[in-house]
Amino acid sequence: MWGVLFPGQGSQSVGMGKLFFDEFSVVRETFEEASDILNLNVNKLIFEDPKSQLNLTMFTQPALLTVSTAYYRFLNDILNWDNVSYAAGHSLGEYSALVNSDVLSFSESLKATQLRGKYMQEAVPEGVGGMLACVGIEESEVEKVVKWTRQNFHDGVIEPANYNSQTQIVLSGHKSAVDFILSEFDAEKVGIQGRARFIPLNVSAPFHCSLMEPAQIKMKAVLESLNFQAPNRKLVQNVTAKECRDPQLLRKNLTDQITSPVKWTQSVLNIQKSGVSHFIELGPGKVLSGLIKKIDRENLTAFNIQSLEDIKVLEKELK
């Protein structure tokens, strides 16, 4: 069996999707639809970014949703989806998974992600928050880093935000707490056996932690106004790493996701337990394909669509 995965923030780049925009009318129609809904020239934003807005989260989020939905739509016209039984999205990508599993309309989700980005950016002033990737150590060791930071630094929040793979976990909170780890970390003092690397992330806000509570409160009202339906395939959400079909629970989990960690590793492993061994990443970049290899290189395969040749390869695999 197969699953489809939708990437989140960090996968965006100027020019994303241009090859398929030029090749497929449904992609051009999707961009035009997004432009009309957002009252924004989405083509210009994504292909030229003249005002350097693409990396501003209130623009990034609907832009990525547009591109991922465009990918799904043109592939849906030419591929056999009979064996594609699961869907999941990483953080923002969960909106793409919901749209392309018929849970939410594209129109409603575009407006919601624009507000989501706006509210997240407003929740914490720029420069106050930060995120830090912990690479090379497992969850139990990362927990020691968090505990040690909280014991020795009392002026900032630091929490797990993304469980991306068994040895790549992202922390989120105040930039001061991130800086403390970067400057003061000592493996022996913390009691870590593995070799840890810490990589500060270039983000505009500390996503998926308690500092996002103001954004969560505002988004709760937005999501309560949207019409959620049961998905047309099995859909696994970030907050629980479990399949969910109930529209009300889908809504609650999407709301909780703003302040809760993304349980990506467990999501992928739970999908794998259900018999899925092949994944298709639908969107720009190769972030999720890379994480699939880190999670289980021997037993899982991820296909990433970056060229027309990639489509031909995938078409053969799905027959």
Domains and CATH numbers, the chain: 2-123+211-318 (3.40.366.10), 129-203 (3.30.70.250)
Active site residues: 91, 208
Looking at every residue in the chain, the average pLDDT score rounds to 95
pLDDT at residue 148, as a whole number:
96
pTM given for the model: 0.96
pLDDT at residue 77, as a whole number:
87
Q: What is the pLDDT of residues 185-236, one digit of tens each?
A: 999 889 998 789 999 998 889 999 999 999 999 999 999 999 999 999 999 9
Say how far apart CA 28 and CA 20 lie, in whole Å: 9
Complete DSSP assignment for 175-238: HHHHHHHHHH--HHHHT--S--EEEE---SS--SSGGGHHHHHHHHHHHHTS-----SSEEB-T
Examine the pLDDT at 81 and tell me if it is beyond 90: no
User: Which two tokens mark 238?
Assistant: 């970030």
Complete DSSP assignment for 245-309: --HHHHHHHHHHTTTS-B-HHHHHHHHHHTT--EEEE-SSSSHHHHHHHHHHTTT-EEEE--SHH
pLDDT at residue 63, as a whole number:
98
Which element (helix H / strand E) includes 91?
none
Say how far apart CA 237 and CA 254 lie, in whole Å: 8
pLDDT at residue 274, as a whole number:
95
pLDDT at residue 126, as a whole number:
86
User: Which two tokens mark 235?
Assistant: 């859909």
Examine the pLDDT at 8 and tell me if it is beyond 80: yes
For residues 163 and 82, the model is more confident at: 163
Examine the pLDDT at 39 and tell me if it is beyond 80: yes
When pLDDT is cut at 50, 70 and 90, the band that residue 152 belongs to is: very high
Collapsing DSSP to helix, strand or coil, 124 comes out as coil
User: Which two tokens mark 165?
Assistant: 């793979």
When pLDDT is cut at 50, 70 and 90, the band that residue 318 belongs to is: confident
